[in-house]
């Protein structure tokens, strides 16, 4: 037999039909070919495989021992190729036990994950969600190797690897948080007041809020003084509750802390930008039905 690279793989389907039917005309009908075309294919197969494959016996054709031995393996190979080329099976969240791993921000974990899990318990009880941190390297290798399915909550202005697919996920206005008994400011902050206050700033690898605020202040030829820099909002909110400092954060996070701690919301200076957050995934898995389903859940 010739090496595989020299074998015409198109002949495999014809070989299966010939060995199944043991009849050139019926095999030709099955493959929608003329009898002469199928006879030509049989001759080519005999040459390439160096075996007669089908020999005349009585009134019909019978497969040679080699052909008989080959047929189950050829069928299996064809079925495997067909399976590989078929569209992925639909994703059924109600019966799936898949674990999705998401690198996310404080915002996602505190505000989006709880209602998401509540909904999944009702509609997809076998689905599990594992949360990881957004790393400094951008998690590219984790996404490529499928150790990570998705990044959610990254500031849209953060630089990301151009290989990754970025989708707009959520836009959130900012609010300021101060201690409940802080009498330095009223309900609204001017830009001048804002810059005179002590600040608790938030800095994680997602770049949500702090970087964008400082860039906006720089455009106004202003800057702020910070007394603490935290990597999670809860720590920052507790510092605010215990000091005269202010913290700027996504409004929904501020509302959450106002229910839990002795702090209150105030309106930030006019013109402060909103936070636009994105989700990221690797293009290798864009057609994964499970990932598509998860992205749909997060858009809701």
Return the structure tokens found at 73.
């393996």
Higher pLDDT, 57 or 297: 297
Q: For residue 242, what is the enclosing H or E element?
A: helix 233-242
CA-to-CA distance for 203 and 199, rounded, in angstroms? 13
140-161 average pLDDT score: 90
Predicted local confidence at residue 155, as pLDDT: 87
Please tell me the pTM assigned to this model. Answer: 0.73
pLDDT single digits (tens) 242-273: 999 999 999 999 999 999 999 999 999 999 99
DSSP state of 268: P
pLDDT single digits (tens) 17-46: 999 999 999 999 999 999 999 999 999 999
DSSP state of 5: G
CA dihedral 253, 258, 264, 265 (to 10 degrees): 30
pLDDT single digits (tens) 112-140: 999 999 999 999 999 999 999 888 776 88
Residue 2 pLDDT class (50, 70, 90 cuts): low
CA-to-CA distance for 198 and 232, rounded, in angstroms? 18
Residues β-bridged to residue 278: 154, 168
Q: For residue 240, what is the enclosing H or E element?
A: helix 233-242
Return the structure tokens found at 241.
């509750």
Identify the structural domains of the chain with CATH numbers, from first to last: 4-85 (1.10.10.10), 99-171+277-299 (3.40.190.10), 174-273 (3.40.190.10)
Which residues fall within 8 angstroms of residue 246, CB to CB, at 6 or more apart? 176, 177, 178, 185, 189, 194, 197, 198, 199, 200, 240, 266
40-57 average pLDDT score: 92
Predicted local confidence at residue 1, as pLDDT: 53
Across the chain, mean pLDDT equals 91
Exposed/middle/buried for residue 153 (C-beta within 10 Å: 0-12, 13-18, 19+): buried
pLDDT single digits (tens) 199-209: 999 886 555 55
DSSP state of 178: E
The string of DSSP codes covering 40-100 is HHHHHHHHHHTS--EEEETTEEEE-HHHHHHHHHHHHHHHHHHHHHSPPPPP-TTT---EE
Q: How far, in Å, are 240, 244, 248 from residue 184 at the CA level?
A: 13, 8, 16
């Amino acid at each position: 037999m010739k090496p595989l690279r020299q074998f015409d793989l198109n002949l495999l389907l014809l070989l299966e039909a010939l060995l199944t039917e043991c009849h050139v005309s019926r095999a030709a009908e099955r493959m929608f070919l003329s009898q002469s075309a199928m006879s030509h294919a049989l001759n080519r197969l005999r040459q390439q495989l160096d075996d007669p494959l089908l020999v005349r016996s009585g009134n019909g054709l019978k497969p040679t021992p080699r052909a008989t031995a080959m047929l189950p393996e050829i069928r299996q190979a064809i079925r495997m190729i067909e399976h590989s080329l078929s569209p992925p099976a639909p994703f059924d969240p109600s019966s799936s036990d898949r674990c999705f791993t998401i690198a996310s921000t404080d915002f996602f974990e505190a505000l989006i994950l709880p209602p998401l899990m509540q909904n999944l318990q009702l509609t997809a009880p076998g689905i599990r969600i594992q949360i990881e941190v957004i790393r400094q390297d951008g998690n590219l290798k984790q996404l490529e190797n499928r150790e990570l399915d998705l990044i959610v909550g990254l500031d849209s202005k953060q630089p990301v690897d151009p290989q990754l697919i970025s989708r707009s996920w959520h836009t959130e206005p900012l609010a300021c948080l101060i201690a409940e008994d802080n009498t330095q400011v009223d309900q609204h902050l001017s830009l001048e007041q804002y810059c005179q206050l002590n600040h608790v700033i938030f800095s994680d690898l997602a770049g949500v809020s702090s970087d964008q605020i400082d860039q906006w202040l720089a455009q106004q030829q202003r800057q702020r003084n910070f007394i603490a820099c935290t990597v999670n909002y809860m720590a920052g909110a507790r510092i605010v509750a215990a000091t005269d400092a202010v913290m700027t954060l996504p409004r929904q996070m501020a509302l959450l802390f106002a229910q839990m701690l002795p702090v209150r919301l105030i309106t930030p200076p006019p013109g402060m930008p909103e936070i636009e957050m994105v989700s990221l995934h690797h293009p290798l898995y864009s057609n994964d039905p499970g990932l598509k389903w998860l992205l749909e859940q997060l858009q809701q």
